[in-house]
Each structure stands twice: as C-alpha cells, then as structure tokens.
Amino acid sequence: MPELPEVETVRLGLSQYLTGSIIRAVEILDQRSLKRHLAGPKDFVKTLADATVLGVVRRGKFLWLPLRFARADVVTHALVGHLGMSGQMLIRDHGAEPDKLTRVILYVESATGDQLEFRFVDQRIFGSLQIDNLVETEDGHPGGFSAGIGVGEVWQNLIPASAAHIARDPLDEHFDQAVVASRIVAKNSGIKRVLLDQGVLSGIGNIYADEALWQAKLHFDTPGSALTRRKVIELIEVSKSILERAVAAGGTSFDEQYKNVNGESGYFEVSLNAYGQTGKPCNRCGAEIRRENWMNRGSHFCPKCQKLKH
C-alpha cells in the first residue's frame, strides 16, 4: 500500500506533465473505479470535459488536482485520486501500448501542447477517482503540498471536502508539532494506532510507523498517554526525518504494485530497520526482530529495545 513518500513521487510526476494541461476527453473502462463519484460516470465525463488542471496537491497520502472548468471564473472542484491498495496513475504518450488493468483514461493536452494520456490503473479496485467540491481549510493555510505551484491563487487555500478531516502531515510547513504532541499524549490507545490515525496526523502508514517506533525505541502498544511530551516530540521528529529520507529516495520498494508515473518500479531503496525484518538481528542491539499480528496487519519490533510501557 503506498504511503506518503510513494504518493509524493506520484504527485511530482503528475505535476510535471499535468499542470496547465486541458482534459480533452475521458474514457471509462471500468465504472467501479468511479464508485466514490456519486453523481455517476456520465457526470464524471461531462464535468471534466475541457477542464484545466491547475496543479497537483498532496496532504498525507491524499492527492487532488484542482480544476478550472471551461468558462468558469472561480475554482470550485478538484479531481481526487485514491490509490487504495494497488492504484497507479500513469502518464503515457497518446496511443502508447495499453497498460493492463487500466480503468479510466483522461486524454489531455499538456501546457506545451503534447497529447498525453493519464491512465488510472488498478488491479484490486480499492482505489478510485472522484470529482469533489473544494472547501476552505480550517486554518486558512494551503490545503496541502504543491511544491510552490499556485502560490497566491485562491485554490491553494482550499481542500476537497472529503479530505477536510485529514490532519496535516509532518512534512507540511503548517504542521503544528506542539498541537499534535498534545493530541497524542491525550490518547489512551496504543501509540502505533495513534500514529496511523489520520485525524491526529497524516501520512504515516504501517511501514513508516514501524520504522519510527523502532527509531524512538517505543513498543507499538504503549499508550500515547503513557509517554512524556518530550518523548512524543522525539517520535514526531523521527517520523518526519524518516519520511523526508524516503521522499528523497522516491519511496520504498516494498510492493510490486507500486510504480511511478512512468510505470517504473523496483529502483527505490530505503534501508528498513524493523518493517519486514522478522528474524533478522536488530541493527541496534542484535536481538531478533519480531512480528506480531496487529489490527489485521503486522507490527515489526525489537523485543529488547522496544519494551511495552503502561
């Protein structure tokens, strides 16, 4: 499942090709990929016709493309992409070899006049595309990260309604560490569960949670309320630096499904200390890394340096 660094790689690739592009036509090959677009496939096709893509924005693992509709003065909607477990967003030249399991194709004319195809490929159909209306952010700051595109534009301080409940991620320049630390120490649930709670902070999934907890020497089930504020701030800072390193490396090569917008995979390498390291010696103390079943997934940890506290 893609996490923030993988989604950022996709965002960057899409932004390069799609910023300033115009959607000329839409082809729907599998309606199930529009399940979140409640107005239906016909509305989806009609609404996107001749819309201009203003940029590509990300908050946590959430990705959206603000749109300017033909003949409209104000920006009111965005195309929201959910990658789900196996979704991919690929950019191809018009007429390029088909990609297996393509569900939706947007035919676009790029800002430089190239005819391109944005292909939404999804094996398991947990992902989707939807057009959502934009609302103002609660704090009046930009909705998410767009790498400087859209500065000063009204749409920058908007966020899709369906994402408005998602907290800022640690890489967001308006992420408020003090506020997030207070939220974490107020929680009685296990710290990993809190880290994965997108209403507390976003962008941390199973892999980077295991890595951050290993780095901070915390057991995944230790309650947030059992931690000192100082320890929580350390954990947030560690999480941030792990995400930063993974973004710099372009994501982690953990999943065959994950590909960048050119369809390349397998060349990213981020060294992991806990996730997927079951049975290997801990890089800090040499004890064997263990995996325990946790909320239908797994948690990887060192039983010696990550002891449970109550």
Query: Which residues have a catalytic role annotated?
Result: 2-3, 61, 297
Question: Residue 305 CB, nearest distance to Zn ion (Å)?
Answer: 3
Considering only 149, 161, 305, 308, the residue that binds Zn ion (CB under 5 A) is 305
Considering only 284, 291, 297, 298, the residue that binds Zn ion (CB under 5 A) is 284
What is the helix (H) or strand (E) element at residue 87, kind and residue range?
A: strand 87-93
Answer yes or no whether residue 302 interacts with Zn ion by CB under 5 A: yes
Choices 5-13, 103-111, 274-282, 293-301; region in contact with Zn ion by CB under 5 A: 274-282
Answer yes or no whether residue 304 interacts with Zn ion by CB under 5 A: yes
**Distance (Å) of CA 220 to CA 175, 209, 263, 282, 290:** 23, 9, 34, 16, 12
- The 3 state secondary structure assigned to 188-253 is CCEHHHHHCCCCCCCCCCHHHHHHHHHHCCCCCCCEHHHCCHHHHHHHHHHHHHHHHHHHHHCCCC
Choices 11-19, 20-28, 147-155, 298-306; region in contact with Zn ion by CB under 5 A: 298-306
Answer yes or no whether residue 281 interacts with Zn ion by CB under 5 A: no
Q: Give the CA radius of gyration of the chain.
A: 20
CA dihedral 179, 238, 259, 42 (to 10 degrees): -10
Q: How many CA atoms lie within 13 A of 193 on its CB side?
A: 13
Choices 87-95, 113-121, 125-133, 279-287; region in contact with Zn ion by CB under 5 A: 279-287
The nearer residue to Zn ion, 266 or 286, going by C-beta atoms, is: 286
Tokens of 206: 């199973």
- Say which amino acid occupies 237: E
Residues 6 or more apart whose CB falls under 8 angstroms from that of 281 comprise: 287, 288, 289
Question: Residue 286 CB, nearest distance to Zn ion (Å)?
Answer: 7
The nearer residue to Zn ion, 141 or 284, going by C-beta atoms, is: 284
Q: Is 99 left (phi over 0), alpha (psi -120 to 50) or beta?
A: beta
Binding string, residues 223-262; x marks residues near Zn ion by CB under 5 A: ----------------------------------------
Per DSSP, 297 falls in state E
Question: Residue 282 CB, nearest distance to Zn ion (Å)?
Answer: 3
Per DSSP, 179 falls in state H
Considering only 285, 295, 307, 309, the residue that binds Zn ion (CB under 5 A) is 285
Considering only 282, 299, 300, 301, the residue that binds Zn ion (CB under 5 A) is 282
Give the Cβ contact number of residue 92 at 10 Å: 19
Report how far residue 108's alpha carbon sits from residue 50's, in angstroms, rounded to the nearest whole number.
Answer: 9
Answer yes or no whether residue 45 interacts with Zn ion by CB under 5 A: no
Answer yes or no whether residue 280 interacts with Zn ion by CB under 5 A: no
Choices 96-104, 125-133, 240-248, 302-310; region in contact with Zn ion by CB under 5 A: 302-310
The nearer residue to Zn ion, 284 or 297, going by C-beta atoms, is: 284
| Residues at the contact surface with Zn ion, assessed by CB under 5 A | 282, 284-285, 287, 302, 304-305
